[in-house]
């Protein structure tokens, strides 16, 4: 049912936790399935130097959060904004059709965290 990569990221998630005083935080949820994702960003010179997540949900939700953080760490804000749920699914060697919404949540959480980062920068100017 799940690929080896999905199981690996579920059993040993990368970047799990919180960042104290994050530069951006994005929280999204899916009322239908109950999954909630929160992404924390630390940004220096427009580069994501650290990213962490906390996810309440199924194994696929944890795995997609883990993979998504791996895919944007070290990237610029603009590069991270280009991340799609399809790229997350491909990096995990696929997801069952019923779990694709988890990858959409990961993409949305990253975009929400970046939006929060940009809003905080605007407010500081």
Q: Is the pLDDT of residue 124 over 90?
A: no
33 has a pLDDT exceeding 80? no
Buried-exposed string 54-69: b where 16+ CB fall within 10 A, e elsewhere: ebebbbbbbbbbbbbb
CB 76 within 8 Å of CB 117: no
Whether 6 shows a pLDDT value over 80: the answer reads yes
Cα–Cα distance for residue pair 38/109, rounded to 1 Å: 6
pLDDT at 32: 76
Q: Which of 102, 105, 106, 114 is catalytic?
A: 102
**Does residue 34 have a pLDDT over 90?**
no
Is 33 a catalytic site residue? yes
- Domains of the chain, start order: 4-119 (3.90.1010.10)
Q: Which pLDDT band, with edges at 50, 70 and 90, does 7 fall under?
A: very high
Indicate which residue of 7, 16, 33, 47 is catalytic.
Answer: 33
Cβ neighbour number for residue 11 with a 10 Å cutoff: 10
Half-sphere exposure of 35 (CA within 13 A, CB side): 24
How many other C-beta atoms lie within 10 A of the C-beta of residue 34? 11
Is 58 one of the annotated active-site residues of the chain? no
Task: Specify the pLDDT at position 117.
Answer: 97
Q: What is the pTM of this model?
A: 0.93
CA–CA dist 19, 40 (Å, integer): 6
Q: What is the pLDDT of residue 30?
A: 79
Residue 25 in this model has a pLDDT that exceeds 90 = yes
Please state the separation of Cα 102 from the chain's center in Å: 10
Instruction: List pLDDT tens digits, range 38-91.
Output: 999 999 999 999 999 999 999 999 999 999 999 999 999 999 999 999 999 999
For residues 88 and 40, give the distance between their C-alpha atoms in angstroms, rounded to a whole number: 18
């Amino acid at each position: 049912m799940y690929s080896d990569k999905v199981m690996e990221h579920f059993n040993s998630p990368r970047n799990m936790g919180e960042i104290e005083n994050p530069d951006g935080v994005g929280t999204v949820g899916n009322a239908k399935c109950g999954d909630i994702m929160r992404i924390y960003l630390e940004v220096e010179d427009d580069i994501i130097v650290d990213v962490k997540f906390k996810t309440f949900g199924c194994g696929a939700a944890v795995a997609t959060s883990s993979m998504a953080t791996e895919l944007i760490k070290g990237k610029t804000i603009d590069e991270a904004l280009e991340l799609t749920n399809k790229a997350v699914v491909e990096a995990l060697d696929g997801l069952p059709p019923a779990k694709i919404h988890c990858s959409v949540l990961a993409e949305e959480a990253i975009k929400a965290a970046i939006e929060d980062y940009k809003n905080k920068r605007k407010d500081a100017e």
